[in-house]
Structure 1
Amino acid sequence: MATELQWLGHGSWLIQTNGTRIVLDPFLDDSPVAPVKSHQVQAEYVLVSHGHFDHIADAEKIAKANQATVISTYEICEWLAKRGVEKTHGMNIGGSYTFPFGRVKMTPAVHTSMLPDGSYGGVAAGFLLTLPEGKVYFACDTGLFLDMQLIGQEGLTLAALPIGDNFTMGPEDALQAVKFLHPKMVVPVHANTWPLIAQDVHAWAERVYKETAVKAVVLEPGESLTLQ
């Protein structure tokens, strides 16, 4: 069974794998680029990398509407539980757990994490998903860090990397990240949501093509790719 990954703009994804739907970092209702709104999303799991509004904004709504399980840091899970989210699974950096759809490992991210009401959100994280068709690394919001080389040793089928700069890696550092990670494919994200993080994603993909053996896939919000 193929795994389909639909980019919902910014850092948001809808992943359909092994008969399960997973939404990652849902920022839809207030996003200027998202092709769907939160009430249109059906999911059994919600992954949240950190507490900034542009990654957690619609997590509570989607979790409650779908009786979905939120997978995030312990602090974010506790915060959502106090807000009435019934199913959560708290994790921390370096930890992994096998869910019905596959294995989730929480990876480091060099970033901050504060929840929308000012509460402490723990540390920021990324996610390494081991799915039937391979391993997918969502770097989420992060700067470049040398230990990406260790993540690359996992043998990645796909990496989704931020390239927007200002809040995360920019194009140069993201290109170095590709060289550290050596995925089969890479998708640039967290760019062109607002003018502050505007980037030429096609020019970046061309550099990946010229400087590495990695296939760069540029998606528009709403477009998908399939792992088989």
Structure 2
Amino acid sequence: MATHKQAVPPPTVFFGEEAFQPIDHTEVRWLGSGGMFVNTRGTCIMMDPMLKDFDMPLLIDMPIAPEEVPHLDAVLITHCDNDHYSVPSLHAMEHVSKAFHGPHYVAELMQAEGFPANGHDIGDSFEVGPAKITLTPADHAWQNEKAKYNYRVFRLEDYCGFWIETPDGIIWAPGDSRLMKEHLEMPQPDAILFDFSDNEWHIGLEGAIQMANTYPEAHLILCHWGTVDAPDLNVFNADPQSLYERVVNPERIHAYAPGQPFSLKKS
């Protein structure tokens, strides 16, 4: 089968305990795949950390081993796919994270693994340090099309994004999702963890461009690209070059290395 060359990010920027210290602003680091690490004024949060033992070959080195994470105030999980809900990664961090959060179904899965998880409805909000976090809707129930998963009906409320209000601005991680009407009706975020996968169960390239141009001032921290070595699977083959000529204010596109910090400072 013919393959094409995958777009890959710059070399990984490794980080350690220094990234978890109190700071006077907010830093966002893409962890590879759909993952994110946020340090907001010393409160440390990871979302969808897939940091070890994935079941496909990778194109990148992970920026931190989960065993090296010194502490977390919360882990956020958007949905149950193993490139987002990484059971090995969470077990490696279960004694350093104060809390685990996700939609109710994901929380049930985490609880079955022994994690003290909190389940939430879409639209629910909770606080982690100075951050207010709200679950936003997502449409990603691809399992309903596969006989392998017919042991249950997967529902919209089993998937989410996270809207994170920090003292320095708003970070929005919509999660894996088809474009929804609600996604185009949010307040203006300051930064979006931006999936642009051209896949029928993701936002799609056209949907990604529509979202980007709906929020023309938001920084776009690219995710869900350049991580999994699978050149023939469109879900893993987003290419930043497809964005620059079609996104308003293209200088806000950040095709960062895994682990590279993006600073969010209140103007």
Contact 1:50/1:113, CA 8 A, preserved across alignment: no
Greater relative contact order (Cα 8 A, min sep 6): structure 1 or 2?
2
Q: 1:82 to 1:198 in 2, by over 3 A?
A: closer
CA drift of 1:13 comes to 0.9
Counterpart CA distance in 1 for 2:217 and 2:91 is 33
Counterpart CA distance in 1 for 2:131 and 2:142 is 26
CA drift of 1:89 comes to 2.2
Larger strand fraction of residues:
1
Q: Which aligned segments of 4 or more residues in structure 1 are displaced greater than 3 angstroms? A: 117-122, 211-214
Give 1:13's match in structure 2, choosing from 26, 36, 47: 36
1:155 maps to amino acid:
Q
In structure 2, the partner of 1:36 is 64
2:96 maps to amino acid:
N
Q: 1:35 to 1:63 in 2, by over 3 A?
A: closer
Contact 1:148/1:177, CA 8 A, preserved across alignment: yes
Is residue 4 of structure 1 aligned with residue 27 of structure 2?
Answer: yes
In structure 2, the partner of 1:191 is 225
In structure 2, the partner of 1:134 is 169
CA drift of 1:182 comes to 3.7
1:199 maps to amino acid:
A
Question: Which structure's CA Rg is the greater one?
Answer: 2
Counterpart CA distance in 1 for 2:95 and 2:175 is 24
Give 1:200's match in structure 2, choosing from 239, 249, 252: 239
CA drift of 1:169 comes to 2.0
Name structure 2 gaps, 5 residues minimum: 1-23
Is residue 157 of structure 1 aligned with residue 190 of structure 2?
Answer: yes
Is residue 215 of structure 1 aligned with residue 252 of structure 2?
Answer: yes
Counterpart CA distance in 2 for 1:113 and 1:22 is 27
Contact 2:138/2:175, CA 8 A, preserved across alignment: yes
Q: How many residues align?
A: 221
Contact 2:140/2:176, CA 8 A, preserved across alignment: yes
Greater shift after overlay, 96-105 or 117-126?
Answer: 117-126
Cα offsets for 1:112-152 (capped at 9, x unmatched) = 287xx96867521000000010111001101112221221x
2:174 maps to amino acid:
A
Name structure 1 gaps, 5 residues minimum: none
Greater shift after overlay, 130-139 or 192-201?
Answer: 192-201
Contact 1:5/1:225, CA 8 A, preserved across alignment: yes
Contact 1:11/1:25, CA 8 A, preserved across alignment: yes
